[in-house]
């Protein structure tokens, strides 16, 4: 059972204070945000931008002429349809209505829903670009994930509501001044009688929308959970675990719990909106009713004719509607602005790394130095890496070993620029890496991480990272990685699609084959530094040993870092660094560390005992 916290006086006061603080903290105001969206629309489709104004003016003139046609038709009927002047006026107005309505309809239907959808996709593309290029650390932060979720949810409001609101505001402003002028001719007191109740309705609407916005942080958590469950439950890679461990029940319960919680907030919101809508409608109706009664009195007393009565009666209705719609638009701008702020806040999310012009990237072999480097994950209490200092010399092969959670992967991510040190400095050939453009710096590294996710494309595109492929180089890298024979046995060979569930004719590689494919991709990039984080975890010990000997062959001209839990596989490295609790526990060659008889030697002997001839014979006897 999901319970929504009662919005009592204490909580109300706190929430409003938080809301006001949040609004005050927003970087951009309403006008600035509307201008931002309109500029984006102008860049995206200039004709679609122009159609906003064509629709507003076309709709305005169509409505205005409709008000006057009623007046003149009544006067024409009273004259017995014999007044040629009135007939010509009516015909002229009818032509004007037809032309104006056609302009409004054509402008309103220009590209229709597809146009707004494409504009939405245009803004979505900017968010996607930011997500793909922002500092990697931003991708791992739950706070940044909330910002992304808010930005994505805000797209529809920004892309559709903003143009619709702007064109509505243009029309309503024109209508307000036009019908106010018409009614002022009769009695200027009619204008405030209509406008004031409509304005009160606006403040009622504003109060309603502020509450809805104020509650966003409460239901945002539910939205994030729902999005997460939808994503992982539909991920083909999770399908095996879901079935083997009977996780369907967990998914269903978790999804229902989150949806129920979100629906509770919808229920609260609906009740809140219903009360405000009723109150606003009653207040606005009182003003309209008073104006109608006054006009009826004037025509019954003979102060105005039937034609003017129709004109003023329709003007009252148009002015009341224009004021309410205009103020609703105005109220909506705060909602739009807040959503646009979400988008802009994410797009302008700061990156710590250098994205501007940096020093020239060195060519050939590279040397990396860690100087008193410490790193703490966002929200963590303790440092994962503590005061680490070492140098990876040009062409050197370094193995990072240690227990799970020791900090090995963090070191690799720091080395290749995915993380920025919390403390200390990292140098490339004697130059602080912060002086290099980060995108250029990434080009120095070929990496294979623990988690490998092939993209839904052909094998060749997965290896080359693009659709421009050097076939000779492709085949050579696949051979070195040990995946060439497997790919050659497939019907479509290197053109075979990966990721089953996206393409009907696709295949799914085994864990070991996927790792080999990732290695081929790293070799294809041919960067001067090779980083391999458990690249053979899915292989058996013998296959892993063979693979590492292959690494030794094709990495001769490169500076390399290897991470492995199987210590026997890294004996070929120039140096072995044992990491324990984020610090360097031991450093040296395999022989040096074995002679030292420390923790490395202890771990090596424990592991090697599992693969000794004696244990192998025991296993064979058991079989």
**Annotated domain spans of the chain:** 9-45+111-347, 362-444+528-610, 452-526
pLDDT, position 611: 58
- Structure confidence at residue 234 as a pLDDT band (50, 70, 90): low
Q: What is the DSSP string of 499-512?
A: SBTTBTT-B---HH
Kindly indicate the confidence band of residue 86, based on its pLDDT and cuts at 50, 70 and 90: confident
Instruction: Write the pLDDT tens digit of every residue in 291-302.
Output: 777 777 777 777
pLDDT over 60 at 5, yes or no: no
Does 372 score more than 90 pLDDT? Answer: yes
Residue 266 to residues 11, 147, 212, 259, 263: CA-CA distances in angstroms?
19, 21, 10, 10, 5
**Residue 205 Cα distances to 22, 75, 200, 345, angstroms:** 20, 40, 9, 26
SS (H, E, C) 459-477: HHHHHHCCCCCCHHHHHHH
The edge-to-edge listing of strands for the beta sheet with 445-448 is: 445-448, 529-533, 559-563, 397-401, 575-580, 583-588
Does 542 score more than 50 pLDDT?
A: yes
Q: 621 pLDDT exceeds 60?
A: no
What homologous superfamily is domain 452-526 in, according to CATH? P-loop containing nucleotide triphosphate hydrolases (3.40.50.300)
The whole-number pLDDT of residue 112 equals 63
The winner for highest mean pLDDT among 159-173, 297-311, 313-327, 544-558 is 159-173
Helix, strand, or coil (residue 135): coil
User: Residue 399: enclosing H or E segment and its boundaries?
Assistant: strand 397-401
Q: For position 622, what pLDDT does the model report? A: 37
With beta carbons less than 8 A apart as the criterion, state whether 202 and 277 touch.
no
Provide the pLDDT confidence category of residue 529 given band limits of 50, 70 and 90: confident
536 Cα distance to chain centroid: 33
- Given this model, what pLDDT does residue 426 score? 93
Residue 153: the pLDDT is 85
Note the Cα 47 to chain centre separation in Å. 28
- pTM equals 0.69
Distance separating the N- and C-terminal Cα atoms of the chain: 53
List the CATH code of the domain at 9-45+111-347. 1.20.1560.10
Q: Give exposure, 463-494, as e/b (b: 16+ Cβ within 10 Å).
A: bbeeeebeeeebbbbbbbbbbbebbeeeeeeb
Q: Is 572 exposed, middle or buried (0-12, 13-18, 19+ CB in 10 A)?
A: middle
- pLDDT over 90 at 219, yes or no: no
By the 8 A CB rule, do 40 and 343 touch? no
CA distance 391 to 555: 18
Return the higher-pLDDT residue of 563 and 247. 563
Relative to beta strand 529-533, strand 559-563 is: parallel
Cβ atoms of residues 600 and 578 within 8 Å? yes
Q: Which of 11-15, 451-455, 515-519 has the lowest mean pLDDT?
A: 11-15
Q: What is the pLDDT of residue 577?
A: 92
69 three-state secondary structure: helix
Structure confidence at residue 242 (pLDDT): 61
Across the chain, mean pLDDT equals 79
Q: What is the pLDDT of residues 376-393, one digit of tens each?
A: 887 788 899 999 999 998
Give the C-alpha separation, 168 to 326, whole Å. Answer: 7
pLDDT for residue 132 is more than 70: yes
Instruction: Indicate the CATH number for domain 362-444+528-610.
Output: 3.40.50.300
Angle at the Cα of 390 from the Cα atoms of 386 and 396, rounded to 5 degrees: 140
Higher pLDDT, 424 or 354: 424
Return the H-helix or E-strand segment holding 385. strand 385-392
Identical fold for domains 362-444+528-610 and 452-526, yes or no, is yes
pLDDT at residue 373, rounded to an integer: 93
**pLDDT at position 2, please?**
41
Between 80 and 387, where is the model more confident?
387
Q: What is the pLDDT of residue 432?
A: 92
Choice among 249-263, 393-407, 422-436, 564-578 with the minimum mean pLDDT: 249-263
Name which residue leads in pLDDT, 457 or 8: 457
Question: Which of 43-47, 240-244, 414-418 shows the lowest mean pLDDT across its residues?
Answer: 240-244
Least confident of 108-122, 146-160, 181-195, 584-598: 108-122
In this prediction, residue 623 has a pLDDT band, given cuts at 50, 70 and 90, of very low
Distance CA 400, CA 535 (A): 13
Whole-Å CA distances, 68 to 170, 182, 194: 21, 11, 20
CA–CA gap between residue 446 and residue 524 (Å, rounded): 9
């Amino acid at each position: 059972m999901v319970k929504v916290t009662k919005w009592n006086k204490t909580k109300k006061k706190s929430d409003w204070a938080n809301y006001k603080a949040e609004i005050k903290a927003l970087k951009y105001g309403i006008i600035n945000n509307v201008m931002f969206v309109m500029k984006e629309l102008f860049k995206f489709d200039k004709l679609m931008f122009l159609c906003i104004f064509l629709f507003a003016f076309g709709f305005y003139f169509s409505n205005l002429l409709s008000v006057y046609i009623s007046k003149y038709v009544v006067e024409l009927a009273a004259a017995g349809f014999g007044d040629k002047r009135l007939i010509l006026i009516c015909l002229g107005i009818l032509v004007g209505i037809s032309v104006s309505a056609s302009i409004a309809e054509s402008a309103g239907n220009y590209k229709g829903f597809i146009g707004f959808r494409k504009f939405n996709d245009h803004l979505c593309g900017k968010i996607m670009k930011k997500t793909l290029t922002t500092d990697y650390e931003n991708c791992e932060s739950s706070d940044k994930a909330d910002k992304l979720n808010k930005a994505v949810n805000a797209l529809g409001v920004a892309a559709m509501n903003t143009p619709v609101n702007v064109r509505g505001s243009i029309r309503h402003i024109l209508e307000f001044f036009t019908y106010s002028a018409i009614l002022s001719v009769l009695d200027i007191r009619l204008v405030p009688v209509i406008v004031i109740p409509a304005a009160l309705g606006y403040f009622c609407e504003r109060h309603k929308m502020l509450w809805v916005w104020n509650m966003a942080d409460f239901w945002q958590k539910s939205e994030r959970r729902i999005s997460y469950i939808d994503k992982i439950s539909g991920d083909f890679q999770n399908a095996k675990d879901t079935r083997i461990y009977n996780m369907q029940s967990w998914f269903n319960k978790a999804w229902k719990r989150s949806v129920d919680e979100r629906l509770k907030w919808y229920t609260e919101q609906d009740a809140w909106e219903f009360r405000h809508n009723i109150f606003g409608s009653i207040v606005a109706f009182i003003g309209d009713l008073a104006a109608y009664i006054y006009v009826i009195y004037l025509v019954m007393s003979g102060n105005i004719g039937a034609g003017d009565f129709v004109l003023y009666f329709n003007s009252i209705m148009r002015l009341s509607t224009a004021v309410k719609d205009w103020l609703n638009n105005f109220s909506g701008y705060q909602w739009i602005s807040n959503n646009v702020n979400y988008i802009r806040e994410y797009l302008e999310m700061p990156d710590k790394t250098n994205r501007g012009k940096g020093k020239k990237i060195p060519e050939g072999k590279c040397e990396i130095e860690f100087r008193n480097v410490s790193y703490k994950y966002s929200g963590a209490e303790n440092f994962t890496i503590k005061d680490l200092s070492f140098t990876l010399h040009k062409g050197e092969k370094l193995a990072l070993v240690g227990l799970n959670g020791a900090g090995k992967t963090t070191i690799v991510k720091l080395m290749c620029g995915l993380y920025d040190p919390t403390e200390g400095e990292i140098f490339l050939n004697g130059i602080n890496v912060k002086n290099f453009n980060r995108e250029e710096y990434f080009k120095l590294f070929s990496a294979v991480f623990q988690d490998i996710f092939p993209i839904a494309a052909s094998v060749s595109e997965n290896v080359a990272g693009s659709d421009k492929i050097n076939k000779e180089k492709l085949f050579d890298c696949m051979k070195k990685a040990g995946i060439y024979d497997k790919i050659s046995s497939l019907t479509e060979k290197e053109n075979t699609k990966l990721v089953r569930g996206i393409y009907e004719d696709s295949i799914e590689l085994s864990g070991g084959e996927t790792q080999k494919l990732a290695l081929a991709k790293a070799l294809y990039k041919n960067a001067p530094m090779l980083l391999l984080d458990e690249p053979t975890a899915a292989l058996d010990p013998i296959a892993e040993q063979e693979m590492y000997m292959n690494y030794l062959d094709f990495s001769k001209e490169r500076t390399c870092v290897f991470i492995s839990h199987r210590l026997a596989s890294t004996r070929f490295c120039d140096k072995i660094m044992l990491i324990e609790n984020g610090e360097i526990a031991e450093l040296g060659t395999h022989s040096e560390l074995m002679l030292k008889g420390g923790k490395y030697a202890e771990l090596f002997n424990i592991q090697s005992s599992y693969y000794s001839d004696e244990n192998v014979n025991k296993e064979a006897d058991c079989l």
